Copies of this chain bind each other. A is one copy, B any other.
Amino acid sequence: MSQYFADLQPITFEGRDSTNPLAFRHYDATAMLGDRTMAEHLRFAVCYWHNFVWDGSDPFGGQTFDRPWFPADTMDQARQKADAAFEMFRILGVPYFCFHDHDVRPEGDTLAESHERLNEIADYFEQKMEDGGQKLLWGTANMFSNRRYMSGAATNPDPDVFAYCASTVKACMDVTHRLHGENYVLWGGREGYESLLNTDLDRELEQMGRFLSMVVEYKHKIGFKGAILIEPKPQEPTKHQYDYDVATVYGFLKRFGLEDEVKVNVEQGHAILAGHSFEHELAMARTLGIFGSIDMNRNDYQSGWDTDQFPNSPGEAALAYYEVLRAGGFTTGGTNFDAKLRRQSLDAEDLIAAHVGGMDICARGLISAHAMIEDDALEGPRRVRYAGWEGEAAQAMLAKGATLDGIAADAEARDVNPQPVSGAQEKLENIVNRYL
């Protein structure tokens, strides 16, 4: 067992009045909200990369974190890392975790050795998961850090990289499958371009479409029941990332006939980078039928890069979970903290406290969202606003057979002169604030 968190006890729920920085004030895992417990609603996951791999470096400075398992370039250190990780999962009481291949084992000298090592760690995970009861929310492959991916993974100008990716994704899907992962995620960190001048957009989009189609086929072949998820992001590391936002991913899926096979994992910070609110991206995913899972974090509104901070706004969390609930809640998805400490937050306790705060904000948001739905606080006014569309004549305009000239003739005959009605946005905002 890892000694890294030796001073820390499992976090418990102490209620809103607690001033204990290492207690939950809102997240009461077994409390019911409607027909599910809070744990079932939120399905929290801790990510491996930010917590156990990242060393605190940024583009202007090196390592700030001392972790006993660094540099983690041996299998022994990989196991130490896993010990610490599962110890942290236990302390936080989270039911799920997520990882890339690259996070959990040092790369081997060959593809085969890399896969062996991945499988060896998976054995280690299996035991730990059985012992601790944690489950895998999703697995994924890191196809952006190594220099071989510098010009893209499936979209690389070199077909050997495409082949390398096929082998890598297959290995990661296999491991995800045997660990009973509930989803498999693809984030195309280098699938995009740094410059249009050296990029063959036509080829690259075709490559990406073909690759994803084969991933879907392989999922069915091995009987993986989880969802395949794409995580949209507009840019960073590349200047342009093909999976720009939810609407862009939808168009891509439609183009390759995959819209019923693939869903999205929506990240708050990526929504912001794409010029959207988080709730926008979630609502768009719902309405397009591709809502899958969320990466919870936040972006600094004054920064133009991906800060991956821990969420801390009650209002933003409420609106996010409101859209999750409107989408029917999570099925295979969940709430993964794709969030990292600030690089000055050096201590083991910071790792725990940050997650405690994040889980609490999510729970607080969920509680607000659930109450708004119970009270019909927003849906009531929304129904009233669009009530005119429930009439027969209105419906007929949207039905098959309606024509532009037919509707036009009717409008002219009636000399329609529509009068605007207040949108009452401020009142609705005030209502939301009542629930925070």
A397 touches B194 (CB 8 A): no
A62 touches B206 (CB 8 A): no
A405 touches B170 (CB 8 A): yes
Of residues 9 to 50 in A, which have CB atoms within 8 Å of B's CB atoms? 19, 21, 25
- In whole angstroms, how far apart are the Cα atoms of A154 and B245 in the complex? 24
B418 touches A312 (CB 8 A): no
CB-CB under 8 A from A247, the residues of chain B are 244, 247-248, 251-252
User: What 0/1 pattern do residues 392 to 436 of A give for CB contact below 8 A with B?
Assistant: 011001100011110111111011111111111111111111101
The interface stretch among A87-95, A127-135, A336-344 is A336-344
Of residues 187 to 202 in A, which have CB atoms within 8 Å of B's CB atoms? 189-190, 194-202
Q: Which of B19, B60, B201, B275 contacts A284 (CB 8 A)?
A: B201
CB-CB under 8 A from A411, the residues of chain B are 111, 160, 163-164, 166-167
Q: With A159-B394, A167-B412 as known contacts, state yes or no: A276 contacts B429, CB within 8 Å.
A: no
User: For the side of the interface on A, what is the size category?
Assistant: 35 or more
Q: Which of B357, B388, B436 contacts A158 (CB 8 A)?
A: B388
In this assembly, does A157 line the interface, its C-beta being within 8 Å of a C-beta of chain B? Answer: yes
Q: Which of B148, B195, B286 contacts A425 (CB 8 A)?
A: B195
A416 touches B163 (CB 8 A): yes
Q: How far is the CB of A409 from the nearest CB of chain B, in Å?
A: 8
User: What 0/1 pattern do residues 230 to 270 of A give for CB contact below 8 A with B?
Assistant: 00001111011000110110111011000000000000000
In this assembly, does A56 line the interface, its C-beta being within 8 Å of a C-beta of chain B? Answer: yes
- In whole angstroms, how far apart are the Cα atoms of A171 and B409 in the complex? 11
The interface stretch among A75-83, A175-183, A214-222 is A214-222
Q: Which of B305, B402, B412, B430 contacts A210 (CB 8 A)?
A: B402
CB-CB under 8 A from A151, the residues of chain B are 344, 420-421, 423
In this assembly, does A73 line the interface, its C-beta being within 8 Å of a C-beta of chain B? Answer: no
Q: Which residue of B lies closest to A431 (CB)?
A: B21
CB-CB under 8 A from A195, the residues of chain B are 342, 423, 425, 428-429
A145 touches B217 (CB 8 A): no
CB-CB under 8 A from A198, the residues of chain B are 381-382, 385, 423-425, 428
Of residues 323 to 382 in A, which have CB atoms within 8 Å of B's CB atoms? 341-347, 350, 353-354, 356-357, 360-361, 378, 381-382
A422 touches B61 (CB 8 A): no
Q: Which residue of B lies closest to A346 (CB)?
A: B422
B150 touches A344 (CB 8 A): yes
A398 touches B312 (CB 8 A): no
28 contacts between A and B (CB under 8 A): A21-B427, A25-B434, A58-B237, A60-B190, A64-B150, A111-B412, A148-B419, A150-B420, A151-B421, A162-B407, A163-B397, A167-B408, A194-B342, A194-B344, A196-B279, A197-B425, A197-B428, A198-B424, A207-B398, A221-B403, A236-B305, A247-B248, A250-B251, A345-B423, A345-B425, A346-B420, A356-B430, A357-B433
